[in-house]
A and B are shown apart, each in its own frame.
Chain A
């Protein structure tokens, strides 16, 4: 059936298909190889996608237009502090409506059965406008000292236990030798840097971390007046604020720079990125090897076709036909295997690991491109098919 379809498509005998399927064992091995490479790429892309989701997730907890960070603050959870005085200078800008210091540190929750590492944000509960609506609606209890909101999707936190945390039924635990009480939950999720998140007031934060000072938050968030362009205001603030080492950029740019930093500078991002490259190279080599061997095995037949009057386009067509068949045949099982592997890994790590439509499209197109590239390389051997040698 596939043969007939290809014949109708090409308007000629589907020689590539017939050649590949002539040796079924070799064809199966080739498909397995391409599927393996595809699965490898899917898994690595899935992890990278998960890393991107995890990196950007905390940015979604807040609503801001401009973020001011220390010079070395490449990521939300990295870098030094920013003096609150720069926020006061920024507020002098006519388009800056309000500002809030954002504190950030890790809190370890020692439980009976496990330990949760919670990335904890200290915010000003009097400024709910800086928080995502879901969180802003629950900031009331944060006015109370040593109160907190917990990420109900934290890794290692039983769902029923998370569901039981309500203002009427708060949950207390010890952290840094002090008792913290959780009054409500919000939706976050474990990432690569911690098991989940917690939000407390800046006063609670400073109590938990007495070494930190109220005048030196980790980042400063700014809200602008309606209609103001964050990029323009950021540029103007860079000129306005005395400390020229500060990183002042739009909140969207800050999130994107964090993501780029995680993917290209941090070891995990680089490793997963290389995983994708290795998967692509493995696929490229496998398809090239199969095609190259196939061309070598059929050199006399190709030379015969040359003698009969078949032109270069015909031979390129055969090799590309084979490349596409191999690529497509390997893609489907590769996507399925990759999806299963990511699902299993997601269940084991609670990371959001899944094959997305975007990944399917990009891997599919990548498979076609790299299979064709393998075909282009393999066709170089066709030049050796000299029909004069047949006699």
Chain B
């Protein structure tokens, strides 16, 4: 994942405002990188640009070997299938059970055998301590449980990159640590790259690298042992 001379603006005419200034970064495969910074510093904008959820206006972004600037919508859709998104709000589908929500993360990769998909979803939920909540609808899960279902949904398809926005905000200490352990294990075992916006010091301490943004610029880039 790489950004070169990346600039981004919102609005038009006199209301146009620059959100990112000359961002240059390269994130190594299999690493866990934390993005920090005050509100409005451009973290989310950067995350959405790297996740091909927003059009690159100026500069270059390379994701999994593909240039995103000027890329066709179909290429972006195909690339997003290789990513795992974890949103601050869990965004689970209210009509689907925990298992069905996780199956959605697998089904996007193509036609999958129903039993195998359910087994994979159950396994992912089990890793996150939700074996006893497989058939629960989101309305019957706690905030932390919903967030863990969302994590399982993002990871069940073995993504190459995980993009997360405050994924542990709703989790207790043990669950949060469990999620970070899982992401680090995936990084080591499968080379899954994780880029995460967080202010949770428990995660920051365990990250391989911490990037700090202020006013749309990277003001600190710290690699940790």
Contact A311 B77 (CB under 8 A): yes
Q: A358 near B: Cβ within 8 Å?
A: no
Contact B80 A13 (CB under 8 A): no
CB within 8 Å for A390 and B89 given contacts A13-B103, A309-B77: yes
Complexed CA–CA distance, A304 and B74 (Å):
17
Contact B48 A300 (CB under 8 A): no
Chain A residues with CB under 8 A of B89: 300, 390
Q: List which B70-87 residues lie within 8 A (CB) of chain A.
A: 74, 77-83, 85, 87
Complexed CA–CA distance, A19 and B94 (Å):
8
Chain B residues with CB under 8 A of A303: 91
Contact A12 B107 (CB under 8 A): yes
Complexed CA–CA distance, A96 and B130 (Å):
90
Which residue of chain A has its CB nearest to the CB of B153? Answer: A308
Q: List which A280-310 residues lie within 8 A (CB) of chain B.
A: 298, 300-301, 303-305, 307-310
Contact B91 A300 (CB under 8 A): yes
Which residue of chain A has its CB nearest to the CB of B53? Answer: A388
B15 to chain A: closest CB distance in Å?
Answer: 18
Which residue of chain A has its CB nearest to the CB of B48? Answer: A388
Chain B residues with CB under 8 A of A298: 93-94
Complexed CA–CA distance, A161 and B104 (Å):
72
CB within 8 Å for A11 and B111 given contacts A309-B78, A311-B77, A390-B89: yes
Contact A391 B44 (CB under 8 A): yes
Which residue of chain B has its CB nearest to the CB of A22? Answer: B95
Chain B residues with CB under 8 A of A305: 104, 108
B196 to chain A: closest CB distance in Å?
Answer: 12
Q: List which B93-136 residues lie within 8 A (CB) of chain A.
A: 93-96, 100, 103-105, 107-108, 111, 114
Candidates B77, B103, B165; contact of A391 at CB < 8 Å: B165
B152 to chain A: closest CB distance in Å?
Answer: 13
Candidates B79, B87, B93, B114; contact of A15 at CB < 8 Å: B93
Chain A residues with CB under 8 A of B37: none
Candidates A300, A304, A388; contact of B54 at CB < 8 Å: A388
Contact B87 A301 (CB under 8 A): no
Q: A18 near B: Cβ within 8 Å?
A: yes
Candidates B81, B103, B153, B197; contact of A309 at CB < 8 Å: B81
Task: Give the interface SS of chain B, mostly helix, strand, loop or mixed.
Answer: mixed
Contact A390 B77 (CB under 8 A): no
Complexed CA–CA distance, A391 and B107 (Å):
23
Contact B93 A307 (CB under 8 A): no
Q: List which A308-367 residues lie within 8 A (CB) of chain B.
A: 308-311
Q: A7 near B: Cβ within 8 Å?
A: yes
Contact A307 B77 (CB under 8 A): no
Most buried by B among A13, A300, A387: A13
Q: List which A224-258 residues lie within 8 A (CB) of chain B.
A: none
Complexed CA–CA distance, A327 and B11 (Å):
43
Contact B85 A308 (CB under 8 A): yes
Chain B residues with CB under 8 A of A304: 85, 87, 91, 93
Task: Give the interface SS of chain A, mostly helix, strand, loop or mixed.
Answer: helix
A308 to chain B: closest CB distance in Å?
Answer: 5
Which residue of chain A has its CB nearest to the CB of B105? Answer: A308
CB within 8 Å for A13 and B78 given contacts A308-B108, A390-B89: no
Q: B47 near A: Cβ within 8 Å?
A: yes
Complexed CA–CA distance, A15 and B94 (Å):
11
Which residue of chain B has its CB nearest to the CB of A310? Answer: B108
Candidates A7, A12, A22, A391; contact of B87 at CB < 8 Å: A391
CB within 8 Å for A18 and B77 given contacts A13-B103, A388-B53, A390-B87: no
B129 to chain A: closest CB distance in Å?
Answer: 23
CB within 8 Å for A391 and B47 given contacts A13-B107, A301-B91, A309-B81: yes
Contact B53 A387 (CB under 8 A): yes
Complexed CA–CA distance, A301 and B91 (Å):
6
Candidates A18, A22, A390; contact of B91 at CB < 8 Å: A390
A349 to chain B: closest CB distance in Å?
Answer: 47
CB within 8 Å for A18 and B100 given contacts A7-B114, A307-B80, A390-B89: yes
Complexed CA–CA distance, A118 and B193 (Å):
89
Contact B105 A301 (CB under 8 A): no
- 8 A/B residue pairs, CB under 8 Å, sorted by A: A22-B94, A298-B94, A301-B93, A308-B81, A309-B80, A310-B77, A391-B47, A391-B53
Residues of chain B having any CB pair with chain A under 8 Å: 44, 47-48, 51, 53-54, 74, 77-83, 85, 87-89, 91-96, 100, 103-105, 107-108, 111, 114, 153, 165, 197
Closest 8 CB pairs between A and B? A309-B81, A22-B95, A309-B80, A304-B91, A18-B95, A388-B53, A301-B93, A391-B44
Apart from A301-B93, A305-B108, A390-B87, 17 more pairs, CB < 8 Å: A15-B93, A18-B95, A18-B96, A300-B91, A303-B91, A304-B85, A305-B104, A307-B51, A307-B80, A307-B85, A308-B81, A309-B77, A309-B78, A388-B48, A390-B85, A390-B89, A391-B47
